[in-house]
Structure 1
């Protein structure tokens, strides 16, 4: 991943039964990315596209309802055919209990501008063609409370199958990396991200060691709530063009708590 580069609940988003993995993640203070415990982030999805008869991982995603996956807008191209893998740990092998779901429709936020990632609104929802059966391997993420803001230095985990370092290899096993939240006041300073970062984003990392990287896009920033449940506060959006792990250039995420009402509107349409 990583050596770079919600509580609004409504009809289909249950207040119970989210954010509590059957196989709790092995959360450590390891510096740098590490292999996750298998199936310990059971809402993690792999968004894949078809090319020449094969499927290729392109982005992460988060299962937020039995037929809805949340990802980043910049992961979506109208010219590609997609599928969503759920219940996966190792992308290189067949795993019992995992499923490949077909999208029925994909909704990109109307304010997303692919020519200006720094404008924000890097969020998309994928409606699956059928409801998936939840299991120990496939569970729903919790969304944070509307407009909730993470405190500086909150410990969160970014997860995904992105590159292990700038221009590095893509791992088969799901990776996790500990990132500390950087508050907006700091992240928007000159020498950090400046005016590039917006209030509807979350910054995390920036230590020059651990970050998201290419292929992690669209995946979750997982933060544990006081009641022990995991909430997905961020969607991997962008990092520094200088490299995945650039000092004072934290990974930048779409702030999910700014989009609760949009998610609700789309999912209940």
Structure 2
């Protein structure tokens, strides 16, 4: 597994290479490749990025969530573009984890393709890492195409992609342990990222958003593979359709770790005036399956 690290070629005390690397820094740097055997080694060898999140909701700053993957569908020959219709979690250099409902026959993508008399083509899927702006190229943004889709029996899907080098700006998030999941009921900060609207009847946002969440009752028959979240308070922005596949993660004083992926919503629209409950697919329930299909 290859990890890209930026090293100064010519040392200059007036600047340094950081996540938000300046043009001057990039011009005097070169890439150093470090080989890791497992994804977890990267998480253990690197300090977790500061989130740079202020308040319970807002826009994600570049470099704050290097584990978030944006999934688009682009058929240039047919002039068909469906950008940021789903999200996913960066697992390793050729593995992305997402939600199968983004691709099934009832998904917004498949519905839109059918309206245009087009047939779904796996090779038209585009995977972006380090993408924070819908319309413009973000700093350090990279992309890849998909080779294969691997479905699980509990709504997860793995996207096997062509090589995506990992770096400080695009790297995996530690997966949850049993101890991690046990502390969720305590005062742990939960955040989620996605491309859905921030407010009632709002258009799709141009920037990746974050929303703080709290655990809540699912109001449905309980399932061992799911948990439910909602906004921190009434009339605050919440997760909603458009955020599917986004990552729910927890922040403690010691670390940041992934909890699950955004799956379904109690309402098919964004409305800050009423409660929206989001169903999260728990990542700790698929550890074995992930190990069989990736380098975790």
Q: Please give the range of the TM-score, normalised by the shorter of the 2 chains.
A: 0.7 to 0.9
Deviation at 1:168, TM superposition (A): 2.2
Contact 1:154 1:181 in 2 (8 A): no
Cα deviation 1:124-167 (Å, max 9, x = unaligned)? 1111122x222232111111015834216532111111122344
Cα deviation 1:44-91 (Å, max 9, x = unaligned)? 111111253335210111101121111111112482431111111112
Cα deviation 1:68-119 (Å, max 9, x = unaligned)? 111111112482431111111112112342111111111121x2xxxxxxxx
Aligned residue in 2 for 1:251: 278
Comparing 45-54 with 85-94, greater Cα deviation is found at: 45-54
- Note the 1:1-40 alignment, pairs <5 A: 12-17=38-43, 20-22=47-49, 24-28=50-54, 30-31=55-56, 33-40=57-64
Aligned pairs, number: 236
Relative contact order, higher structure (CA 8 A, sep 6+): 1
Aligned residue in 1 for 2:204: 170
Contact 1:152 1:180 in 2 (8 A): no
Aligned residue in 2 for 1:200: 225
Contact 1:153 1:181 in 2 (8 A): no
Asked if residue 65 in structure 1 is aligned to residue 99 in structure 2, the reply is no
**Structure 2 residue corresponding to 1:221, chosen from 248, 252, 275:** 248
Contact 1:146 1:260 in 2 (8 A): no
* Structure with the higher fraction of residues in helix conformation: 2
Q: TM-score, normalised by structure 1?
A: 0.78
Cα deviation 1:150-195 (Å, max 9, x = unaligned)? 216532111111122344211121111111123xxxx14xxxx222
Residues 242, 213 of structure 1: alpha-carbon distance in 2 compared, 3 angstrom cutoff:
closer
**Structure 2 residue corresponding to 1:144, chosen from 165, 171, 176:** 176
Asked if residue 99 in structure 1 is aligned to residue 142 in structure 2, the reply is yes
Residues 160, 21 of structure 1: alpha-carbon distance in 2 compared, 3 angstrom cutoff:
farther
Report the Cα distance in structure 2 between the residues aligned to 1:11 and 1:136, rounded to whole angstroms: 17
Contact 2:198 2:237 in 1 (8 A): no
Asked if residue 129 in structure 1 is aligned to residue 156 in structure 2, the reply is no
Q: TM-score, normalised by structure 2?
A: 0.71
Unaligned 5+ runs, structure 2: 1-35, 106-119
Higher radius of gyration, 1 or 2: 2
Q: Secondary structure at the match of 1:257?
A: helix
Report the Cα distance in structure 1 between the residues aligned to 2:67 and 2:90, rounded to whole angstroms: 5
Q: Secondary structure at the match of 1:39?
A: coil
Contact 1:217 1:238 in 2 (8 A): yes
Report the Cα distance in structure 2 between the residues aligned to 1:268 and 1:214, rounded to whole angstroms: 31
Contact 2:66 2:172 in 1 (8 A): yes
Aligned residue in 2 for 1:116: none
RMSD between aligned residues: 2.6
Comparing 203-212 with 213-222, greater Cα deviation is found at: 203-212
